[in-house]
């Protein structure tokens, strides 16, 4: 399920994974938790999603994609219903 968030408070929460595309030819995508520097680099979108999804399911967090750090799209729902 994909949700586009542009409303305050409707975006990533503490601990969620943020997936970003880069311009670096050696790695095209980075993964980081909210408020942190990139912690993992991936060469393909599929690889980034697989890594992020595995982490999200184990740690009960969501995965978000952004191009501009202002508008986020939730691409994996790993947070249990009702959790904050």
Q: Is the pLDDT of residue 72 over 60?
A: yes
User: Does 40 map to a domain?
Assistant: yes
Q: Which tens digits make up the pLDDT trace of 47-65?
A: 999 999 999 999 999 999 9
User: Does 12 map to a domain?
Assistant: yes
User: Does 39 map to a domain?
Assistant: yes
Q: Is the pLDDT of residue 2 over 50?
A: no
pTM > 0.85: yes or no: no
User: Does 66 map to a domain?
Assistant: yes
Domains of the chain: total: 1
Q: Is the pLDDT of residue 42 over 80?
A: yes
- pLDDT score recorded for residue 71: 87
* Cβ contacts of 72 within 8 Å, gap of 6 or more: 4, 5, 11, 12, 18, 64, 65, 66
Structural domain harbouring 61? 3-76
Give 47's DSSP letter: H
User: Does 15 map to a domain?
Assistant: yes
Q: Determine the Cα–Cα distance for residues 80 and 47; give it in Å rounded to an integer.
A: 24
- pLDDT score recorded for residue 24: 81
User: Does 65 map to a domain?
Assistant: yes
């Amino acid at each position: 399920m994909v949700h586009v968030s542009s409303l305050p408070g409707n975006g990533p929460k503490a601990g969620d994974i943020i997936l970003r595309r880069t311009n670096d030819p050696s790695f095209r995508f980075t993964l980081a938790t909210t408020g942190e520097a990139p912690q993992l680099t991936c060469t393909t979108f599929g690889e980034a999603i697989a890594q992020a999804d595995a982490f999200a399911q184990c740690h009960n967090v969501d995965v978000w994609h952004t191009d501009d750090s202002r508008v986020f799209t939730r691409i994996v729902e790993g947070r249990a219903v009702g959790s904050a």
